[in-house]
Structure 1
Amino acid sequence: MPARRRTLLKVIILGDSGVGKTSLMNQYVHKKFSNQYKATIGADFLTKEVQFEDRIFTLQIWDTARQERFQSLGVAFYRGADCCVLVYDVNNMKSFDNLNNWRDQFLIQAIPSDPDNFPFVVLVTKLIKKSRAWCASKGNIPYFETSAKEVFNVEDWRGRRDRSTGCEC
């Protein structure tokens, strides 16, 4: 039996403070949810191994603080990222409006080799028409409904049909 290939993938989670980034990350990695909100200071990361076909991927998932005093850390944390997850709270439309800023700042600081084709994913708690239009305008970025509290679509958003494009992701 051939040895399985292992690949490290760096995933950055971005979004306004309080939108649920840490909750989603903890639910995905540890299968735990807490009602206690504790702001991330600087940055934190968790790892999770996932298998896809004959490969094992170690996801290094980075959760970064939104607070202005930590923004200078972005360059160090964003560089070398393989994917960026943008999160907003459907009940906080300002967090949706800030998706452009998060995406733009990521591209400026991460300096990916092909910024037009860098993989972004948007995670939201409910289907909303505005998110569909925004994702379409940014090159059909896939997005998924999620809820860390309800354990909905946290673990298995891969392979789901994206409602905005109809593609299998």
Structure 2
Amino acid sequence: MASRRRMLLKVIILGDSGVGKTSIMNQFVNRKFSNQYKATIGADFLTKEVQVDDMLFTLQVQIWDTAGQERFQSLGVAFYRGADCCVLVYDVNVMKSFENLNNWREEFLIQANPSDLENFPFVVLGNKIDVDGGSSRMVSEKKAKTWCASKGNIPYFETSAKEGFNVEAAFQCIARNALKDEPEEELYLPETIDRATNRQRSTGCEC
């Protein structure tokens, strides 16, 4: 039986608008998908207990998306700080969303300013592999893996938020990466954490 620990792991999900960040989060936490699209403006987050090596942890999955709204961009520093892992998401059918991964990665490192820039854990998700049965795909798996290898062998997963494909496996990897260098004393949840954090605080669904 897994032992329970009151430990919080903060995971930030970044990527272009429309790549499926909210849908991936909802599929992981609630096992639900919506075809309705409404861009997330600002921040959105959900929490879920995850089990890693017979230990249960609270994974807080957060999305940051300004959708071009400049008034939100200055809030990024506070949002990124304290993250244990950053997930970069692109749409395999949109080359530009893949090309922008480097910008998202660099922005995160600048804003979050982690203590170890070279070894901070990232995970890359190539989403929407289900679209048109793969016939509209623009970014090959090989191309994505080559980019990940060039950035320090970032773990890479191809996912379908709609069908739930590889989402659970990806978040198991994300949780392990978030855990690997964290001092235990920094992970305990404060007693003031809102008991309602399992409720979605969303401004819309992104699919």
Q: TM-score of the superposition, structure 1-length normalised? A: 0.88
What SS class does the counterpart of residue 28 from structure 1 fall into? helix
Instruction: Report the counterpart of residue 35 of structure 2 in structure 1.
Output: 35
Instruction: Report the counterpart of residue 133 of structure 1 in structure 2.
Output: 146
Q: More deviation in 35-44 or 51-60?
A: 51-60
CA separation in 1, counterparts of 2:2 and 2:60? 25
CA separation in 2, counterparts of 1:21 and 1:133? 22
Instruction: Report the counterpart of residue 56 of structure 1 in structure 2.
Output: 56
| Structure 1 residues 14-163: aligned runs within 5 Å | 14-68=14-68, 69=70, 70-125=72-127, 126=129, 128-157=141-170, 158=172
CA separation in 2, counterparts of 1:133 and 1:62? 27
| Structure with higher RCO (Cα < 8 A, 6+ apart) | 2
Instruction: Report the counterpart of residue 167 of structure 1 in structure 2.
Output: none
Structure-2 change in CA distance of 1:47 and 1:2 (3 Å): closer
CA separation in 1, counterparts of 2:42 and 2:5? 32
Is the 8 Å Cα contact of residues 83 and 118 (structure 1) preserved in structure 2?
yes
Question: What is the letter of the counterpart of residue 58 of structure 2?
Answer: T
Aligned CA-pair RMSD = 1.7
Question: What is the aligned residue count?
Answer: 159
Q: Can you give the 5+ residue segments of structure 2 that lack an aligned partner in the other structure? A: 130-139, 174-207
Is the 8 Å Cα contact of residues 8 and 58 (structure 2) preserved in structure 1?
yes
Identity across aligned pairs (percent)? 75
**What's the CA shift for 1:152?**
0.3
